[in-house]
Structure 1
Amino acid sequence: MSNAFPLPVVIVGGGFSGAMLAARLAERGQASVVIDRSDAFGLGVAYSTALAAHRLNVRAGRMSAVADRPADFVDWLTARHPDQADPNGFAPRRLYGLYLRDRLAAVEEARPDLIRRVTGAVVAVDGLTAVLASGERVEGRAIVLATGNPAPRTAAQGGRIIADPWARQALARVQPGDDVLILGAGLTMVDVLLMLEAQGWRGRAAALSRRGLLPRAHGTRHDAPLALPPEALTGPLSARLATARRLAKTHGWRRLMEGYRPITLDLWRAATEVERRRFLRHLRPWWDVHRHRIAPEIADELDGLIASGRLTVRAGRVLAMESTDTSASLRLATRGGTEHALSAPWLIDCTGPGHDAATAPPTAALIASGRARLAASGLGLDLDAEGRVRHADGAPDPALYVLGPPARAAFWETVAVPDIRQRIEALTERLAI
C-alpha cells in the first residue's frame, strides 16, 4: 500500500483480538486506535479472571500471540513464572492475560505513538468514523470490529436468575449450601462451577442443555494429527460423518480432531449454505465438545463433582423459567416428550456468548442502513474471504472488517488463539501501510 492514508486503523474492542492486532500493526509501522469499554486492554472476558483454577483450554506451547515466534508465551513463562513453563501444560488464564498486557506494553514502548487507547463504548459506525456513547468521534482509514464474546442472552436478569455470570460479583449472592440450576453444559458452565467452588460453595448443581454433553478432556500429550482420507472430506455430510466415526474408533477421536483442525476453514468455505445449516442443526454440539476441550485436571474436577452427586447433567429443551424472591424454577422437556419441573435457589445462564448482530450496537445500525447484512447461516454478519463486511447487495465494504468470535459466520473456527492469530496476520498484511 502507498503512504497516502495517514489516518490510523480504528479497532473496536480491546480484548485479545483487538489488542494483538494493534501490536502487529504497530510492528509493521501502522498506527491504530483501540477502543474498549473498559481499561482492561488485552484481556477481554477470558483473560480477565483472577482465579488460578481457570486454565487455558489450549496447551501453553500453542498459545503464542505472535505467529512467527511460536515459543513466545512459553519463553515469557520461563522468564517470569518458571513453575508454569511447561509447553505441554495448561497455564492459568490469569498469567496469559499478564503476558498479553506485557506484549502490548512492550510494543507501545518500542513503537511510541503508533497505538492509542480509548476507553468508551462504540454505539455507531459513521463511514470511517467510530462514534462513542460520550459523543467522541474517532476517524480512521479502516475500521475493524473485534468486539469479542458478549454475555449470554438466554435468560432474563431478575430475582434469582443470574443472566450474566461474568458480571462483577454476580455469583457472590450464592451461599455455600445453595443448590443451583445451570443453563448450558459447556465451557462457561465449567468456569462457573470453578468460581463457585473457589468461594466455598458446597451445594449441588443441575446443568441443563439440549444434548446433555460435557466438554471432552485433552489427552496427557498432544495427539498427532490423523491424515484424513478423501471420503472424510468430500461427499454428503452423512457419509463423511460415518467415515469420521470409523476413523475415531480406529485411531482415537483426538487424532481425528487434530486432523480436521488445519483444514476446518477450507471445509467451511467449501460447504454450501444448506450443508452449513445442517451441520449447525445436527452436528455442532458434538463438534464443540470434542474440538473445544478442557485441561485434564479440570476434567478430573468435573468427574469428582459428578461422582459425589454434586453435579448432574440433563438433556432437554427449556419450556419456561420463572423467578421469585427466594427461588428459580423451570420446566424441561426431554427428547421423549416427558416434562420435568426443577427448582433451586438460583438459576445461572451459562449458555455461552450471546452474539446477536441484528440487535447489538454498532452492527444493528449497519444492517438497518444496508452497509451490512446477516449471513444465511444466522451466525452473524456476512463477510467475504478477507473478513470484510458485505453490504445488503453483497458487495464487500472496502474498509470495514470483523475479527475474532464475531467473524464465525465466515471463518467458523475463530474463537481459539491459534485461529485468531492467523486472522491477525492476514489482516496485518492487508492493513499495514
Structure 2
Amino acid sequence: MLAARLAERGQASILINRTPHFGLGVAYSTPFDGHRLNVRSARMSAVADEPGDFVRWLEAYHPEWAEPDGFAPRRLFGLYVQDRLKRVETIFPGCIERRVADVVSIEADGVTLGDGRRLAARAIVLATGNPAPKTTRRNAAGGLSRIVPDPWAPGALESIGRDDDILILGTGLTMVDMVLVLEGRGWRGRATAVSRRGLMPRAHHLTADAVAPPDATMTSGPLSRRVAAARRRASAVGWRTMMEGLRPVTSALWREADVATRGRIVRHLRPWWDVHRHRIAPEVAAVMYRLLSDQRLTLAAGRIGEIESIDGGVVLHWTPRHGPPQPPKVASWAIDCTGPGHDAAGDALTGPLIATGRARLDALGLGLDLDDQGRALNAQGRADPALFVLGPPSRAAFWESIAVPDIRQRIETIVEVLA
C-alpha cells in the first residue's frame, strides 16, 4: 500500500519481501473463505482519499461479495492489494522495484541482503507485519512435537485428526481463526482455550454502527474517570457506538498519555479494549457461539504454566484466575494462539539498531519509540530522518496500528514526508 502511494506521488521505491507473494502478509494469504475481514468492506479501501475503492473492486471482480456493510473473505482483500500494486506499476513504470530477498541488516544508507548485496536508499520503512507467537517456541524447540508454535506456518494444522481434542493458548482473534479452519475441515473434537481473562472477541452488529464522538470526560483527566465516563456513554448509546466514537482519536489519546497512564492501560484495560475494539464478523461469531453452546469450545481464565509431552498428547499446567486450583488440562494437541511475539530488542533487524543507539525502545518496552511521523527515535530521543516504521511494529507509538483504516492514515503521513 505504501509503495503504491509513493509511486502515485512520483517517488520510486524498492519493495523487499521474503517470498514472491507481495501484498499478502499473514492475514491475507489464507485460502480459507471462512476467514472474514474484521472490518466492513466499505472501510477497507487501500487509498485514504478513495473510500469506495475496495467495494468498487469487489463489484468488478467478485460481485457476490460487494456488500459495503459486509465482511468479505480476507483472501479477496489480499487479491485486491496485489491488483492495486500491479495497476500502479503499469501506470507508473519503473517506480516500484520488487526484490525477493531477506534483509539481514539495516545500514545508515541502505540495507544488506542475505546474499551479501547492499541496496542504497535515502530512507527505509520497516513494514514487517506481525511476528509469530513466542509463548511455546521454547517448548517446540525442546522436542514437544504435539505443540503448534506458529499456527500460520504452512501445514501447521494438517496433522490434527478429525476427532482430536485440542488446547489453545489464547482466546483472541488467532484462536477464532484456527477454530474456524479446523471446523471447516470437518474437525469434530473439543477445544479448550485458555488466556489470562478468558475473553473472546465480541461481534459486530449486523448493520453499520452509529458514531457517538467522545466528550471531554472520556478524553481527559484520570484514567479511572475516563473509563467510568465510557461506561456511562455505552449504557446510553450502546457500547459499539461508543467504541466507534473513540476510534478516530485513539492514537492521539495514546500519544498524549504519560507513561504511568499507558502502563495502566496495558496492565488492566487492554484485554477488555481488544475484545470490544477488534470485533469479528457476525457470521464468524455465529460459528463460535454455536461451538460454545454445543460445549465443543470452552473458554478458561487463568495463568498458563508449563506444557509437558505425554504419549499421544500434551499436558498444560495452569492456575485458574479465580477459584480453587484445577488439575492440568490434557489434549492431543496444543496450539499457540497467544498473538504476535513482538520483541524489538531481540529481533534480528531492530535489535542491532537498539544496541547501537540508532533506535530505542519505548518507556514500557512495547516496541520501537517513534515520533508523530513514524520516524525512529535514537537513544538521545532525536528522530532518524531515514528510518520509518509502519504497521504492527509501530504499536508502541500509536497503539492502534494493525487495522487497514489506521495503517492507511499512517501511510499518508509517511508519504508526505518522503515524497
Query: What's the TM-score, normalizing by structure 1?
Result: 0.94
Shift of 1:366: 0.6
Residue identity opposite 2:178 in structure 1 = V
Q: How does 1:187-226 map to 2 (within 5 A)?
A: 187-226=173-212
1:391 alignment partner, one of 378, 387, 396: 378
Task: Return the match for 2:268 from 255, 277, 282.
Answer: 282
- Given the alignment of the two structures, is residue 331 of structure 1 paired with residue 311 of structure 2, yes or no? no
Shift of 1:323: 2.3
User: Displacement of 1:213 after TM fit?
Assistant: 0.4
The superposition leaves residues 153-173 of structure 1 with CA deviations (integer Å, 9 ceiling, x where unpaired) of: 111223110000100101000
Distance apart, 1:254 and its partner CA: 0.1
CA deviation after TM superposition for structure 1 residue 314, in Å: 0.2
Q: Spell out the pairing of 1:307-318 with structure 2 (5 A cutoff).
A: 307-318=293-304
Report deviation, 1:227: 2.8
What is the alpha-carbon distance in structure 2 between the residues aligned to residue 232 and residue 191 of structure 1?
33
Aligned AA for 1:276?
R
| 1:147-186 correspondence to structure 2 within 5 Å | 147-156=128-137, 157=140, 158-186=144-172
DSSP-derived class of the 1:317 partner? strand
What are the superposed Cα offsets for residues 330-376 of structure 1, whole Å, 9 maximum, x if unpaired?
11111236243001010000011111111111001111111111111
- Out of 143, 149, 161, the position equivalent to 2:124 is 143
**Does the residue aligned with 2:28 lie in a helix, a strand or coil?**
coil
For 1:95, give the aligned amino acid.
Answer: L
Partner residue in 2 for 1:129: 110
Of the three residues 52, 76, 98, the one matched with 2:57 is 76
CA contact (8 A) 2:165 2:191 kept: yes
- Secondary structure of 1:407 counterpart: helix
Q: Does 1:111 align with 2:92?
A: yes
Residue 430, structure 1, aligned to residue 392, structure 2: no
Aligned positions of 1:398-413 closer than 5 A: 398-413=385-400
CA distance in 1, matches of 2:202, 2:119: 43
Q: How many residues align?
A: 413
Structure 2 counterpart SS, 1:340 = coil
Q: Which runs of 5+ in 2 are unaligned?
A: none
Contact 2:197-2:321 within 8 A present in 1 as well:
no
Q: Is 1:373 aligned to 2:360, yes or no?
A: yes
CA distance in 2, matches of 1:371, 1:112: 34
2:128 and 2:254 map into 1 onto residues whose CA distance is: 22
The answer (yes or no) to whether the contact 2:361–2:367 under 8 Å persists in 1 is yes
Q: CA RMSD in A?
A: 1.0
Task: Name the CA distance, whole Å, in 1 between partners of 2:28 and 2:201.
Answer: 20
SS state of the match for residue 125, structure 1?
Answer: strand
SS at match of 1:159: coil
1:316 partner SS: strand
Instruction: Tell me the SS of whatever aligns to 2:27.
Output: coil
Contact 1:155 1:161 (C-alpha < 8 Å) held by counterparts: yes
Distance 2:117 2:349 in 1: 15
The structure 1 residue matched to 2:408, chosen from 421, 424, 427, is 421
Q: CA deviation at 1:136?
A: 2.0
Q: Do 1:160 and 1:324's aligned partners in 2 also have CA atoms closer than 8 Å?
A: no
- Are positions 1:344 and 2:320 aligned together? no
1:384-412 CA-to-partner distances (Å, cap 9, x unmatched) read 11111111111111110100110011111
Cα displacement (A) at 1:130: 1.0
Moved >6 Å (runs of 4+): none
Which AA in structure 1 matches 2:84?
Answer: R
The match for 2:82 among 78, 101, 109 is 101
Shift of residue 378, structure 1, vs aligned partner: 1.8
Aligned-pair distance for 1:112? 0.8
Equivalent AA in structure 1 for residue 168 of structure 2: I
Q: What SS does the aligned partner of 2:386 have? A: strand
Aligned match of 2:28:
47
Aligned AA (2:394): A
Deviations 1:111-140 (A, max 9, x none): 111101111221210112111222121111
Shift of 1:324: 3.9
User: The residue matched to 2:384 in structure 1 has which SS?
Assistant: strand
- Give 3-state SS (helix, strand or coil) of 1:399's partner: strand
Within 1, Cα distance between the matches of 2:327 and 2:10?
A: 60
Q: Structure 1 unaligned runs (5+)? A: 1-19
CA distance in 2, matches of 1:268, 1:109: 39
The code of the aligned residue for 2:101 comes to: G
- The amino acid across from 2:31 in the alignment is A
Give the aligned residue type for 1:371: R
Does residue 250 of structure 2 align to residue 269 of structure 1?
no
Which residue in 2 is equivalent to 1:16?
A: none
